[in-house]
Amino acid sequence: MTHLSKIASGVEESRLERGQRALAEIDGEAGHKVVAALADIAPDFATYVFEFPFGDIYSRPGLDLRSREIATIAALAAMGNAAPQLKVHIEAGLNVGLTRDEIVEVLIQMAVYAGFPAALNGLFAAKEVFAAKGGQRPQGPS
């Protein structure tokens, strides 16, 4: 079991508890804003977000959180229609130790498999997240 699957005392957590803790560790404030935004329209869906993606999938052994966020960023960028979720997961990637350069490389890689529009949209989403977190990625040589 991973560090996300048990609480400090070694007692098994419920899916909901495990998911709430995982979301806080991975997405921080951004993830909780998404869940809070659902409270007045679909509170049950907020519970599903805690339980399934974070309580079940992110908590599985086999991949570390950095690898899971690389996969998530790539998938959301490739979808091309999930910019809000992509921004949350770019921030999550930073939270779990990805560098800005690694995130940019993941998004550039998507040009090969999802096309230039998806890669461009992903890069612009990353630029927004980076700017909000305190500065843009430095420009390369001219």
pLDDT in tens, 29-72: 777 788 889 989 999 998 998 899 999 999 999 999 999 999 99
Rounded mean pLDDT, 3-12: 54
pLDDT class of 1 with cuts at 50, 70, 90: very low
Give me the pLDDT at residue 5, please. Answer: 45
Average pLDDT score over residue span 66-80: 97
Give the span between the Cα atoms of 68 and 60, in whole angstroms. 10
DSSP state letter for 59? T
Can you give the pLDDT at residue 29? 78
Q: How does the average pLDDT of the chain come out, rounded?
A: 87
Both tokens assigned to 55: 């309580």
Q: Residue 54: what pLDDT?
A: 92
Give me the pLDDT at residue 7, please: 45
The answer to whether 10 and 46 have CB atoms below 8 angstroms apart is no
pLDDT band (50, 70, 90) for residue 135: low
Element (H, E) at 83: helix 83-95
pLDDT at site 2: 46
At residue 93's C-alpha, the angle toward residues 92 and 96, to 5°, is 85
Residue 128 and residue 57: Cα distance in Å, rounded?
Answer: 28
